[in-house]
């Protein structure tokens, strides 16, 4: 039993040396990987790379905000532009042929706009504009003007 303690101690020492060797190998491997990881593009370190990327993100956010404001401006303009239109041609007088008179509906996205009427005969041309608010005329309409308003509202689904 006296010789077993130095033998156990010797075996434990060998096991510790082997374990230390294995751990040293893994530490060296981790150091290599960390060195590669910490070196960025063109030899820059990770901190420099992150700084560059953060600056780029800030630039992208500014550009995105500018585009958002531009789209809001365009959207506001589009809503006020003519979205629904129509043209109804007709003969205003029995003696005039060729359907030279017409009524035209011009409406924006909200159904606001005008009914423009042109009544033509051989001696006279009359031009009339009637205001439309939310798809309803402010004054009475002729049957042709009402048809023009109805046709102009169809693409808007008012």
**141 contacts 113 by C-beta, under 8 angstroms:** no
Q: What's the pTM?
A: 0.56
**CA torsion angle 36 42 44 49 (round to 10):** -100
User: Which of 31, 58, 77 represents a domain boundary (last residue)?
Assistant: 77
pLDDT tens digits for range 101-136: 999 999 998 899 999 999 988 788 999 999 999 999
Q: Which is nearest to 101 in space by CA: 146, 144, 153? A: 144
| Domains of the chain: total | 2
73 and 106 fall within a common domain: no
66 and 89 fall within a common domain: no
pLDDT tens digits for range 58-74: 889 999 999 999 999 99
25 and 59 fall within a common domain: yes
94 and 131 fall within a common domain: yes
Q: For residue 90, what are the domain limits?
A: 84-156
The two beta strands, 125-133 and 84-90, are unpaired
């Amino acid at each position: 039993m006296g010789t077993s303690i130095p033998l156990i101690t010797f075996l434990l020492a060998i096991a510790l040396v082997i374990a230390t060797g294995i751990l040293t190998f893994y530490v060296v491997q981790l150091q290599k990987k960390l060195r590669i990881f910490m070196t960025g593009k063109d030899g820059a370190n990770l901190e420099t790379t992150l700084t560059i990327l953060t600056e780029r993100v800030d630039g992208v956010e500014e550009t995105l905000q500018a585009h958002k404001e531009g789209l809001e401006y365009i959207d506001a303009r589009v809503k006020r532009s003519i979205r629904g239109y129509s043209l109804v041609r007709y003969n205003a007088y029995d003696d005039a042929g060729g359907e030279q008179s017409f009524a035209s509906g011009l409406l924006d996205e909200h159904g606001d706009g005008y009914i423009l009427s042109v009544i033509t005969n051989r001696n006279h041309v009359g031009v009339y504009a009637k205001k439309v608010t939310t798809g309803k005329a402010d004054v009475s309409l002729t049957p042709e003007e009402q048809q023009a308003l109805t046709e102009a509202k169809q693409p808007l689904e008012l």
